[in-house]
Amino acid sequence: MNSLWSTIATALSPHGPAVTTAKSYTPGDFSIHFFLQLAVILVACRVVGWLGQKLLAQPQVVGEMIAGVVLGPSLLGLFWPDAQAAIFPAETKNVLYAGAQLGVGLYMFLVGTTLRIDQVKTKVKSAAGVSLAGIAAPFAVAMLITPLLLNVPGLFAPQISTLNATLFMGACIALTAFPMLARIINERGLAGSAVGTLSLAAGAFDDVCSWCVLAIVLATFGGGAGVAILAIGGGMIWIAIVILIGPRLFAPLAARVEREGRMSHGVLAITLTAFCVSAFLMDTIGIHAIFGGFILGAVMPRGLFTDEIKRQIEPLAVVLLLPMFFTYSGLNTRMDMVNSPALLLIALGILIASILAKGGACYLAARLAGEDNRTALGVGALMNSRGLMELIIINIGLQKGIIGPTLFSMLVLMAIVTTMMAGPLFEAFYGKKARESGELNAIAPAA
C-alpha cells in the first residue's frame, strides 16, 4: 500500500527526461526546429503514403508508419546522418513526443465517436471470444519460445526472470495496433460494419490487457507493486465512471447543439477539456492516453453533437497532428541490428509464431462464435496488425532494460511485417468480395 501511495504522489514528478537535457537550446530554438520538423513530416507522410497506395495497395496510415521509419536512423540517419541530426536533434524529441500524444489521443477520441454501441452489444459473444483467444494464444506461444530466447545472449536483460520475460513477450505478441486498426477500418469504410465493430472491440480489450501486463512486468522488474495496482485498478475505476456518468453529463450539451444547429466554441472547449482530463488520467496511471480519448469518445451523444466534433477536429488531428506520432516512434527505430543468419532465423521464427498465435487464434475464435468464414478471416487479418503500438511497448522495454537492442529490432521487424500484411490479407479474405456484393459500398458513405 505504501508503494501505491508513493506511485500516486510522484505521478506529476519528473520521470525522465527521455533524452539528455538541453543546455544550449532556447525556447526559440525549439520553435524553429518544431516547425521545420512538422513541414518535413507532412511532406514525407504524404509522399510515402501516396507511394504506398499506388505501388503496394497499402492504406495511407501504413505509408505514414513507414515514413516515420524513413525519417529516423534506419534510412535518413543511415545515408544522411548530418541532415537527420540537424532536422531532428535529440534535444527536441520531448517536444515532438507531446505533439505525438496529442495527435494520437485526439484521433482515438474521434474513433470512439464512431463506435456503434448497439452493434457491440450484438457482438458481445464474438468480441469476447476473439479477445480471449487473442490474449491466451500469444501468451501460450510466449511460454514456448521465451526459454529458447533467454539462451541467446543479448536478447533479454541478464537479470530478468523467466516469468517476466514470458509476460513481456506475451504482451508484445498479443498487442494489436489499435490506432492503426481503427484508421484502416475508417479508411476502408468499415466503421459501422460487423467486422469493423468486432475487430475494434476485441482489439481495444487486447491492448488494455497488454498494457496491464506490461505494468505488472515493470512492477516486478523494479517499478514497485504500486505501478500495477494503480494501472489496473485506476483504469477500471475511470472506465466505469466514464461509462456510467459520461452520457448524463454530455446530454445537456448535445441538446444545446441540436437546438442551435451547430457546436459553439464554448461547448467545444468543454468537450476538449474532458478529453484532456481523460487522457491525462489514463496516462498518469500507466495505461496510455489513447485509451482515455477512446473511452470518452465512445460515450459521446450520437447525432449532430458527434458530427460537429468530427467536422471541427478531424482535419487538423488527422492531417497535422497524427503524423507526429508515427515519426516520433520511427526516430527510435533501427533496422540494422539483425545482422547475422542466426539472428535472422530467430527473427523469422518470432514473426511466424506471432502471426499464427494472434491471427490464427482470432480467426478460430470468430468461427467458434458463429461468424462466417469470410468475416472470421477478415477479423484475423485485422487483429494481426501491430503497428506502432508495438513500437511503443518495445521502446518501453528497451528503455527500462527488459530487452536488448537486438530483440528490439526483431520485434520492430515483426511489427512492420504484420502491419503491412493486414491490408492485403483483409482485401483478399473479405474486402474484395464485400465490394463485389455491394456491402462495403453501402457502408462507406455512413463511415
First vs last C-alpha separation in the chain: 46
Q: How far apart are CA 88 and CA 328, in angstroms?
A: 10
The three cell numbers locating residue 120: 457491440
The three cell numbers locating residue 4: 501505491
The three cell numbers locating residue 239: 472506465
pLDDT at site 161:
87
Which residues, at least 6 apart from 226, have a Cβ–Cβ distance to it below 8 Å?
Answer: 3, 4, 5, 6, 7, 8, 219
Looking at per-residue pLDDT, the higher value among 201 and 143 belongs to 143
Q: How far apart are CA 413 and CA 409, in angstroms?
A: 6
CA distances 144 to 140, 165, 216, 354, 440, Å, are 7, 12, 20, 12, 40
With cell 457482438, the residue in question is 123
Least confident among 91-95, 219-223, 229-233, 394-398: 219-223
Name the percent of the chain lying above pLDDT 90. Answer: 26
Least confident among 136-140, 189-193, 242-246, 330-334: 189-193
pLDDT at 13 over 70: no
Whole-number CA gyration radius for the chain: 21
pLDDT at site 272:
95
| Helical axes 178-187 vs 194-218, angle rounded to 10° | 170
Q: How far apart are CA 296 and CA 304, in angstroms?
A: 17
pLDDT at site 223:
60
Q: How far apart are CA 390 and CA 332, in angstroms?
A: 12
User: Confidence class of residue 305 from pLDDT cuts 50, 70 and 90?
Assistant: very high
pLDDT tens for each residue of 227-272: 778 877 888 899 899 999 999 999 999 999 999 999 999 999 999 9
pLDDT tens for each residue of 393-442: 887 788 778 888 889 888 988 988 898 888 788 888 887 777 666 665 54
Query: What predicted TM-score, i.e. pTM, was given to this entire model?
Result: 0.75
Q: How many residues would you count in the chain?
A: 447
Q: Cα dihedral angle (280, 284, 285, 288), rounded to 10 degrees? A: 60
Q: How far apart are CA 429 and CA 88, in angstroms?
A: 40
In the chain the domains, ranked by start, together with CATH numbers, are 104-443 (1.20.1530.20)
pLDDT at site 224:
66
The three cell numbers locating residue 234: 485506476
